[in-house]
Amino acid sequence: MARLAFASSPPLASARTLRRHFSIFATVNPKTSEMPRLHHASLEVIGGGTDRFLPPLKDSLSKPYDAFPLIGFNRHVETIYAAFYRSVPSVRLRRECLRTKDNGSVALDWVAGDDSSLPPESPILILLPGLTGGSQDSYVRHMLLRARSMKWRCVVFNSRGCGDSPVTTPQFYSASFLGDISEVIAHVGARFPRANLYAAGWSLGGNILVNYLGQESHNCTLSAAVSLCNPFDLVIADEDFHKGFNNVYDKALSRSLRRIFSKHSLLFEDIGGGFNIPMAANAHTVRDFDEGLTRVSFGFKTVDEYYSKSSSSKAIKHVRIPLLCIQAANDPIAPDRGIPREDIKANPNCMLIVTPRGGHLGWVAGEGAPNGAPWTDPVVMEFLQHVESCETINGERLLEDVHQIQV
């Protein structure tokens, strides 16, 4: 049960925290004020952690970002092509339904056979799909395969109602609700106490993940994390969502939300209060759904207040573990102007990579293009492998250094 998962022993948590802190601070060189360019000019690479995280990625980032011809020339073409034509790898998954403290449920999909083929100390990658996404999505499956090929244990966190996850209470999820992710990470950590934990999130999953990193800050048990195509500033994202061709995405996502809601509508039949269930059930936009259901469920007075207070851009300054953010400059759903560049530059634990093209959840470029893995996958795993390779060599001195540094 999830409520037992919080009882992981303090010594194990401390060991995991020590290793995480080493990965942050051990490779710092205070004498280095500038670095030679280690990335191609087609990429924007910035962040307070660039001096530590960029060198291990130099092989991947030294090449130009070449969008696939006829597909990558337009952000909408690339977004839609990836959504409909990217291959969906066959992966055998074993489902674990986790009951949360509030009697809700989420579904964890593990790669089948890993318990017998991988040692208990194998690093674990927790994957958070985007809004209405789940373990069935192509970008999730490709990341599963890549991580698994490198002997990592993988698990997909399907939010309530997503990926056919059961819904047992009249509440779904939101961009700022961190109860479920906290319980999932605690549960996974308690089940594999000898393993280092990592997480990667796309789109809304990235926003939730970064919010979690900011909230937990000093207490985070993850060793590192990756955020991809994160909308960051949900107020700005909402503004753009209603412009031009973006209305197509808005209608598609609201249709997916309606489909999830319809499967569990009886739970909400007599809920009362400030909910507008007919509006949610018939939502033609994501904002309609959030107005009728989401913002009321999580105690926000207006949708704008919900978007403002749920934006992960405000959490970046509090992140204390290695965090890689990857964005596309032409992303129609996660606008470039919403990226908190100044806070990323000021945080010694963060690095940002912005590709000139890529659309949303697209990145149809690289060796896997056009139908294979996104361009981002090898970069993500190189970053995570680098952090995993860092080992604690002097625990007492490490603790002393951590206490001296203020973030």
Give me the active site residues, please. Answer: 203, 331, 360
Q: What's the token pair of residue 70?
A: 């006829």
Rounded CA-CA distance 197/123 in Å is 6
End-to-end CA, the chain: 35
Residue 336 CB coordination number (10 Å): 15
406 contacts: CB under 8 Å, gap ≥ 6: none
Which spans in 132-245 are helix H?
A: 138-149, 179-191, 204-216, 234-241
Phi, psi dihedral angles at 45 (to 5 degrees): -130, 115
Strand 93-99 to strand 105-111: parallel, antiparallel, or no bridges (unpaired)? antiparallel
**Degrees, nearest 5: CA angle 339-50-367:** 80
Helix (H, G, I), strand (E, B) or coil at 164: helix
Q: In b/e form, how buried is each residue of 289-321, taking b as 16+ CB within 10 angstroms? A: bbbbbbbbbbebeebeebbeebbbbbbbbbbbb
